[in-house]
Amino acid sequence: MSTASASSAQDSRAPRSILLRALATDYDGTLAHDGAVPETTIAALQNAKRAGLRLILVTGRQVPELAKIFPQLAWFDLAVMENGAVLYDPKTGGSELLAGAPPSEFVKRLHEHGLPLQLGQVIVATWEPHETEVLEAIKEFGLELQVIFNKGNVMILPSGVNKATGLRKAAEKLGLDVSEVAGVGDAENDHAFLDVCGLSVAVANALPSIKKQVDMVTRGDHGQGVEELIAWLLAQKDPTL
């Protein structure tokens, strides 16, 4: 295995011979810092798209809230939303549910406990330290649900649904294998999808557990790290760049 140039990453265990045709990126903490994406990162995404890389967003967010703050969502070939539960096509504006929502009685019980909730088409989300009440409600109703953490966020989803299952579906729709996808992320809920990518990357601000898992760690944090990754990927496509 070879090492990426010092300008693109501080560590790499990625083989250069791998064929990478797509970039899958998390949003918060990866592309975005405090919800905003730098102009230089937006320009890098444009460069990637012009060079023929397919773009896949993989996020825990819901479509309406993200579309309001990130109009460049329309550039992406597909978006895996709600942490793998929804597949969104920016070209058509259509969404495909990849799982069923929890029963209304369960959500009502969380409301009765006074939990602050965000409700998507499938996902139910709250914040730490409310995971205890969530787990108690799951047990009470005998539901096959899982709790996924994301830097203080507590996401409730059907068992087996995560960013990896969503990415696999997106790759299939685009005629890709996940081994042809470079993935980049920063937090607990990114473990699953980074594990299945042909190249896994962590931005510099990622959790230590993520950095230990991946093939490459960028020098820059947040969007700057994604810019480095894109430059590295384009250099693999055209060594003269």
100-132 pLDDT per residue, tens: 999 999 999 999 999 999 999 999 999 999 999
Residue 237's pLDDT is 73
Q: What is the pLDDT of residue 6?
A: 32
pLDDT tens digits, 35-61: 999 999 999 999 999 999 999 999 999
Distance CA 2, CA 56 (A): 26
Q: At what angle are helices 39-50 and 222-237 packed, to 10 degrees?
A: 20
Reported as half-sphere exposure (CB side, CA atoms, 13 A), residue 11 has a value of 12
**The pLDDT of residue 192 is above 90:** yes
pLDDT(207) > 80: yes
Q: Is the pLDDT of residue 140 over 80?
A: yes
What's the confidence (pLDDT) of residue 241? 45
- Kindly state the percentage of the chain with pLDDT values over 90: 88
8 A C-beta contact, residue 184 and residue 203? yes
* Assigned token pair, 241: 């760049």
Evaluate if residue 4 carries a pLDDT over 90. Answer: no
**Residues 63 and 86 sit within 8 Å (Cβ to Cβ):** yes
Predicted confidence (pLDDT) at residue 11 exceeds the cutoff of 90 = no
Q: Which residues contact 32 (CB under 8 A, 6 or more apart)?
A: 70, 222, 223
Task: Please indicate whether residue 174 or residue 5 has the higher confidence score (pLDDT).
Answer: 174
Confidence band, pLDDT 50/70/90 cuts, at residue 74 = very high
Residue 63 clears pLDDT 90, i.e. is over it: yes
What mean pLDDT, rounded, does the chain reach? 92
User: What does the pLDDT read at residue 238?
Assistant: 63
Tell me the whole-structure pTM to 2 decimals: 0.91
What pLDDT is attached to residue 188? 95
- In the structure encoding, which two tokens stand for residue 104, read together? 């209304």
Band (pLDDT 50/70/90 cuts) for residue 1 is: very low
